[in-house]
Amino acid sequence: SAVISQKPSRDICQRGTSLTIQCQVDSQVTMMFWYRQQPGQSLTLIATANQGSEATYESGFVIDKFPISRPNLTFSTLTVSNMSPEDSSIYLCSGSMGISYEQYFGPGTRLTVT
């Protein structure tokens, strides 16, 4: 298994600013993912964070808005750029190991944009 932590746990930001969320895993994981979750709703995959290369984004999400880094097998960051109130959401990081289908999730970062 893997334990995933995220920083910050929550933040209130002004529109037009950017926030970088950090995701740390206590062991090496093959895959890392970033999700968005509106309160009371399901998870929407933003992108797959690839080590040493550009992230793979899902339809509706672009690198300019959500730049992602993954410098090694245990760490990734997601930046929410030029924020608007519509970006208010919970952002979740997850990781999976090897050929396992199981994903381990972080506790999430609750973002409010005013």
Partner 1 sequence: GESVGLHLPTLSVQEGDNSIINCAYSNSASDYFIWYKQESGKGPQFIIDIRSNMDKRQGQRVTVLLNKTVKHLSLQIAATQPGDSAVYFCAEILSYNTGNQFYFGTGTSLTVIP
Query: Is 23:104 a contact under the CB 8 Å cutoff?
Result: no
- Taking the C-alpha atoms of residue 28 and residue 35, their distance in angstroms, rounded to an integer, is 19
Q: According to the binding rule CB under 8 A, does residue 104 interact with partner 1?
A: yes
Q: How many residues bind partner 1 (CB under 8 A)?
A: 21
Q: Binder to partner 1 among 53, 59, 86, 98 (CB under 8 A)?
A: 59
Q: According to the binding rule CB under 8 A, does residue 92 interact with partner 1?
A: yes
Q: Binder to partner 1 among 41, 72, 84, 112 (CB under 8 A)?
A: 41
DSSP string, 34-55: EEEE-TTS-EEEEEEEPTTS--
Residue 86 φ then ψ, to 5°: -65, -15
Shortest Å, Cβ 26 to partner 1: 14
Q: According to the binding rule CB under 8 A, does residue 73 interact with partner 1?
A: no
Side-chain-facing half-sphere of 29: CA atoms under 13 Å? 28
Where along the sequence are the contacts to partner 1 (CB under 8 A)? 4, 31, 33, 40-43, 45, 48, 59, 92, 94, 96, 101-108
